[in-house]
A and B are shown apart, each in its own frame.
Chain A
């Protein structure tokens, strides 16, 4: 599966006026191409004791189960050559089933769920695999434009094995009609690249009678410019 899209069409531009907040935060000067730095080395390294057992099951962080459609989210963290990114920290956060974040800054008038915080962490295994149990987040309105609603999504933060692999992204759901009107999703120029942010339903990876299965593989850049060992 060769990706034929131009590399500069994969990531969004800094200035994307349809997403209003970019207008005063995007740099206007061209970026400086710097030679490989002494800091372009593997790291930071984080030991697995950094997280607690159970941090990857977001449905167990309250006194009882959260509201919403339970789901199992599995996937692999890979580099551009298809090699697993092993023993690497994966951090996620998301809204609850009614589209509200357990965050003091979220003013959306939808109910909080006392049994859902919406924060998860895990490490990939030796095959680059990760697994979370959570609930499907709700869509929510935002102030970007009239009748603006964010599609259902889960935020991901990946450190990879070196700073050049650092990635923050969002995972979306198949068939969501809000994707068509979302400037954040549509800021990615290449259509095939956009679709790589959408997870796939995979019933057999769920828990029979309990949770629906979805898979989402994440591919980090940087491997070709920096040898990162295994």
Chain B
């Protein structure tokens, strides 16, 4: 017995209060780990900030495990924040476990009829190039768009460019 999938539609500009979670930008885990900040801006094809995006993250725990549910009802390993008027997002989380740590990112916004999925790596570029998951990009200059830049001892900076010069690699 099969059923046709329900199509995607835009999140529109009025989702904020409905989808805002208490401490949505402070990602929790059962384990303790090195706390880090991931921040940056979302920019459109004209280089203008996208001030009405929803930015969601999903990642492994500091020990490289699938996050278990939180005791307070809050999902572990999952972050959800809005971009500010200047296109800035900010997620406080823990460094995911593994040799080539990464965070999956889902973007939703007015003007996107379906979600954009991508991934940010918190590892040096040469290590990211060796990741088998990114084999089609191994020799591409675009791989850089998936690598965050250290911006302090516990802070990483990563911008998302939706279109045009330096366009971020998005996943099918």
Contact = CB atoms under 8 A, between A and B. Distances in A.
Interface string B144-172: 00000000000000000011100111111
Contacts of A50: 73-75
A145 interface: no
Given A45-B69, A91-B18, A157-B19, A22 B111 contact: yes
A81 B2 contact: yes
Nearest to A77: B6
Dominant secondary structure of chain B at its interface with chain A? loop
Given A34-B134, A34-B171, A119-B18, A29 B7 contact: no
A173 interface: no
B77 A44 contact: yes
Interface in B47-77: 48, 50, 52, 56, 58-60, 66-77
Nearest to B10: A184
A26 to B, nearest CB: 6
Interface residues of B, number: 71
B6 A196 contact: yes
B170 to A, nearest CB: 5
A147 B170 CA distance: 35
Contact of A47 (B44, B69, B104): B69
A39 B164 CA distance: 28
B129 to A, nearest CB: 14
A176 interface: no
Contacts of A32: 136-137, 169-172
B9 interface: yes
A46 B137 contact: no
Contact of A93 (B15, B67, B106): B15
12 contacts: A39-B102, A46-B69, A46-B74, A78-B3, A102-B17, A117-B17, A169-B7, A169-B9, A184-B9, A192-B4, A193-B5, A219-B5
Given A26-B162, A27-B163, A28-B45, 14 more contacts: A1-B1, A23-B45, A25-B110, A25-B112, A26-B163, A33-B171, A39-B104, A93-B14, A103-B13, A105-B14, A169-B6, A170-B9, A196-B7, A219-B3
